[in-house]
Amino acid sequence: MKNPTRNFCGRTRREFLWQTGGGFSAAALTSMLAGDGFLSPGNLSASESAGSINPLMAKPPHFAPKAKSVIFLFMYGGPSHIDTFDYKPTMVGMDGKTVDVPTFGRGGKKTGGRIVEPRWDFAQHGQCGKWVSTLFPNVAKHVDDIAFLHSMTADSPIHGSAMLMMNSGKILSGSPSLGSWATYGLGSVNENLPGYVVMLDPKAGPISGAKNWSSGYMPATYAGTVFRTKGAPILNLDRPKGMSQEVQRALIDSIQQANDRHFAPRQDNSDLESRIASYELAYKMQSAAPEAVDLATEDEKTLSMYGIDREETNDFGTRCLIARRLVDRGVRFVQLYSGGAHNDDNWDAHGDLELNHNRHAGRTDLPIAALLTDLKQRGMLDETLVIWGGEFGRQPTAEYAEGSGRDHNSYGFTMWMAGGGIKGGVSFGTTDELGAAAVENPLHVKNLHATALHQMGLDPNQLSYFYSGLEQKLVGVEHVEPIHQIIA
Task: Give the whole-angstrom CA distance, residue 436 versus residue 61.
Answer: 38
Residues 140-199 that bind another protein (CB under 8 A): 155-162, 164, 171-174
How many residues in the shown chain lie near another protein by CB under 8 A? 102
Judged by CB, which is closer to another protein: 49, or 69?
49
- Distance in Å, CB of 56 to another protein, minimum: 8
Q: What x-and-dash track marks residues 260-299 binding another protein by CB under 8 A?
A: -xxx-xxxxx-xx-xxxxxx-xx--xx-------------
- Distance in Å, CB of 60 to another protein, minimum: 14
Residues 214-243 that bind another protein (CB under 8 A): 214-217, 219-221, 225-226, 228, 231-232, 234-240, 242-243
Judged by CB, which is closer to another protein: 286, or 455?
286
- Distance in Å, CB of 301 to another protein, minimum: 31
Among 91, 197, 199, 200, binds another protein (CB under 8 A): 200
Residues 91-110 that bind another protein (CB under 8 A): 104, 106
Q: Which stretch binds another protein (CB under 8 A): 85-93, 181-189, 206-214, 412-420?
A: 206-214
Contact, 367 vs 316, CB < 8 A?
yes
Residues 332-391 that bind another protein (CB under 8 A): 340-342
Task: Give the whole-angstrom CA distance, residue 202 versus residue 77.
Answer: 15
Q: Which stretch binds another protein (CB under 8 A): 61-69, 299-307, 427-435, 464-472?
A: 464-472
- Distance in Å, CB of 3 to another protein, minimum: 9
Judged by CB, which is closer to another protein: 20, or 98?
20
Task: Give the whole-angstrom CA distance, residue 156 versus residue 362.
Answer: 28
Contact, 80 vs 434, CB < 8 A?
no
Residue 42 touching another protein (CB under 8 A): no
Residue 395 touching another protein (CB under 8 A): no
Judged by CB, which is closer to another protein: 140, or 285?
285
Contact, 193 vs 289, CB < 8 A?
yes
- Distance in Å, CB of 337 to another protein, minimum: 10
Judged by CB, which is closer to another protein: 18, or 85?
18
Residue 401 touching another protein (CB under 8 A): no
Q: Which stretch binds another protein (CB under 8 A): 6-14, 29-37, 93-101, 309-317?
A: 6-14
- Distance in Å, CB of 369 to another protein, minimum: 27
Q: What x-and-dash track marks residues 294-323 binding another protein by CB under 8 A?
A: ------------------------------
Judged by CB, which is closer to another protein: 104, or 306?
104
Residue 488 touching another protein (CB under 8 A): no
- Distance in Å, CB of 426 to another protein, minimum: 30
Query: Who's near 172: CB < 8 A, 6+ residues apart?
Result: 161, 164
Judged by CB, which is closer to another protein: 35, or 240?
240
Q: Which stretch binds another protein (CB under 8 A): 204-212, 318-326, 365-373, 420-428?
A: 204-212
Q: At what angle do helices 178-186 and 445-455 cross, to 10 degrees?
A: 30
Residues 22-41 that bind another protein (CB under 8 A): 22-23
Residue 468 touching another protein (CB under 8 A): yes
Residue 43 touching another protein (CB under 8 A): no
H/E/C letters for each residue in the chain? CCCCCCCCCCCCHHHHHHHCCCCCCHHHHHHHHHCCCCCCCCCCCHHHHCCCCCCCECCCCCCCCCCCEEEEEEECCCCCHHHCCCCCHHHCCCCCCEEEEEEEECCEEEEEEEECCCCCCEEEECCCCEEEECCCCCHHHHHHHEEEEEEEECCCCCHHHHHHHHHHCCCCCCCCCHHHHHHHHHCECCCCCCCEEEECCCCCCCCCHHHHHCCCCCCHHHCCEECCCCCCCCCCCCCCCCCCHHHHHHHHHHHHHHHHHHHHHHCCCHHHHHHHHHHHHHHHHHHHHHHHHCHHHCCHHHHHHCCCCCHHHHHHHHHHHHHHHHHHCCCCEEEEEECCCCHHHCCCCCCCHHHHHHHHHHHHHHHHHHHHHHHHHCCCHHHEEEEEECCCEEEEEECCCCCCCEEEECCCEEEEEECCCECCCEEECCECCCCCCECCCCEEHHHHHHHHHHHCCCCCCCCCEEECCEEECCCCCCCCCCCHHHEC
Judged by CB, which is closer to another protein: 88, or 319?
319
Q: Which stretch binds another protein (CB under 8 A): 130-138, 251-259, 358-366, 421-429?
A: 251-259
Residue 475 touching another protein (CB under 8 A): no
